[in-house]
């Protein structure tokens, strides 16, 4: 079976920081002038994975898990403590110009556009930095502003744009030089529902048409579900899962949701005997039940109550992910 070329490969990648520990109180501060205490923070610990050309992969984890640090390593912004990585055949932290022309990094909490200038001036600067031909630049800018519906806004100072409009401008700046790899770190953070959807639709269409390789980090699971088929989960600096997105629920969720609509206008008072009851809006109720118990619970409910409608569903992805992050197994307490 044909496999596309490997675009990104990390092998036993680690990044550790030495952090000063300041004790509370005046005497502790004075002692710290003569003898400092440090601790080692393992931001990324022995992480290995591959991303193939043309893939869009979700890189998931709670705050402080090491996601942004990993993207910074792959972008060449920081050096690793140990391990190796290759992106398009380049070692990122060598920072070769040939490599920097072939990728882009978009961080939802960092701006690359000049705040007080119109976005079009920042775009012109990118043209010179990446040595884009004038004709190609004009055609590319016209295409991207049309796709992102911001053509009339590029002459406005960036500070006057809404958050959603600014993020669309950031995407344009990142894509002007036609990168082959795109690192997206929380691209929809703080955006309203409409802006989130606009960014999702653009990224989905652009990635499909251009075939670029994308690593996406996001706490917003609708981004992940809309854009990615594969997920890499990292927590406390370690890789915890690498596989199809659909496998996450199968692997980490131990319950299913049974939704019931009763024939009467009331929900039975003893429904809690069958599972955890939530979201009750008579005559409807939802019940969280252990996977292995679903057939037995359904049989018992249908034989005992008059039920007009029933549905068995997987738990929402965001709930499964949150439970996984907070479990003792992930926290390393087992």
Going from the N-terminus, what domains does the chain have, and what CATH number goes with each? Answer: 6-250 (3.40.50.300), 254-314 (3.30.70.1150)
Q: What's the predicted TM-score (pTM) here?
A: 0.83
Contact between residue 55 and residue 7 where contact means Cβ atoms under 8 Å apart: yes
Residue 334: its pLDDT value, please? 37
Residue 32: its pLDDT value, please? 67
CA atoms within 13 A on the CB side of 101: 9
What per-residue string of b and e applies to 20-50 under the rule 16 or more CB within 10 Å gives b?
Answer: eeeeeeeeeeeeeeeeeeeeeeebbbebebe
Torsion angle of alpha carbons 310, 313, 318, 319, nearest 10°?
70
Contact between residue 218 and residue 187 where contact means Cβ atoms under 8 Å apart: yes
Question: What percent of the residues of the chain are helix, what percent strand, and what percent coil, each to the nearest 5?
Answer: 40, 30, 30
In whole angstroms, what is the distance from residue 51 CA to residue 54 CA? 9
In whole angstroms, what is the distance from residue 334 CA to residue 327 CA? 10
DSSP β-ladder status, 238-244 and 56-60: unpaired
- Quick one: which H or E segment has residue 303? helix 294-304
DSSP-derived secondary structure letter, 315: P
DSSP β-ladder status, 56-60 and 230-235: parallel
Residue 61: its pLDDT value, please? 86
Token duo for residue 9: 């490969």
Strand order in 181-185's β-sheet? 103-107, 181-185, 213-217, 56-60, 230-235, 238-244
CA atoms within 13 A on the CB side of 196: 17
pLDDT means per 10 residues, the chain with 334 residues, are: 84 87 70 73 90 94 87 94 96 95 88 90 93 94 93 92 91 95 90 88 92 92 90 87 87 88 88 90 91 92 91 86 68 42
How far apart, in Å, do the first and last CA atoms of the chain sit?
Answer: 40
Token duo for residue 277: 């009851």
């Amino acid at each position: 079976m044909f496999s596309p070329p490997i675009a990104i490969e990390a092998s036993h990648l680690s990044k550790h920081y030495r952090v000063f520990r300041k004790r509370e109180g005046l005497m502790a501060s004075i002692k710290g002038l003569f003898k400092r205490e440090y601790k080692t923070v393992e931001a990324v610990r022995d992480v290995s994975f591959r991303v193939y050309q043309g893939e869009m992969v979700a890189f998931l984890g709670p705050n402080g898990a090491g996601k942004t640090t990993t993207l910074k390593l792959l972008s060449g912004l920081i050096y690793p403590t140990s391990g190796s990585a290759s992106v398009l055949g380049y070692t990122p932290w060598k920072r070769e110009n040939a490599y920097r022309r072939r990728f882009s990094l978009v961080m939802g909490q960092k701006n690359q556009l000049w705040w007080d200038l119109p976005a079009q001036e920042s775009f012109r600067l990118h043209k010179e930095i990446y040595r884009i031909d004038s004709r190609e630049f004009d055609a590319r800018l016209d295409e991207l502003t049309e796709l992102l519906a911001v053509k009339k806004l590029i002459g406005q100072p960036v500070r006057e744009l809404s958050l959603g409009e600014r993020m669309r401008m950031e995407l344009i700046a990142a894509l002007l030089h036609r990168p082959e790899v795109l690192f997206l770190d929380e691209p929809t953070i703080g955006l309203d529902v409409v802006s989130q959807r606009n960014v999702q639709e653009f990224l989905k269409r652009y990635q499909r048409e251009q075939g670029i390789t994308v690593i996406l980090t996001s706490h917003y699971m609708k981004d992940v579900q809309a854009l990615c088929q594969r997920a890499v989960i990292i927590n406390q600096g370690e890789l915890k899962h690498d596989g199809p997105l659909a496998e996450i629920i199968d692997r980490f969720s131990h319950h299913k949701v049974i939704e019931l609509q009763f024939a009467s206008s009331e929900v039975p008072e003893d429904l809690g005997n069958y599972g955890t009851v939530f979201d009750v809006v008579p005559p409807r109720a939802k019940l969280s039940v252990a996977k292995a118990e679903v057939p037995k619970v359904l049989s018992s409910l249908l034989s005992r109550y008059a039920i007009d409608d029933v549905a068995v569903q997987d738990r929402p992805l965001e709930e499964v992910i949150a439970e996984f992050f907070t479990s003792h197994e992930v926290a390393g307490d087992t």
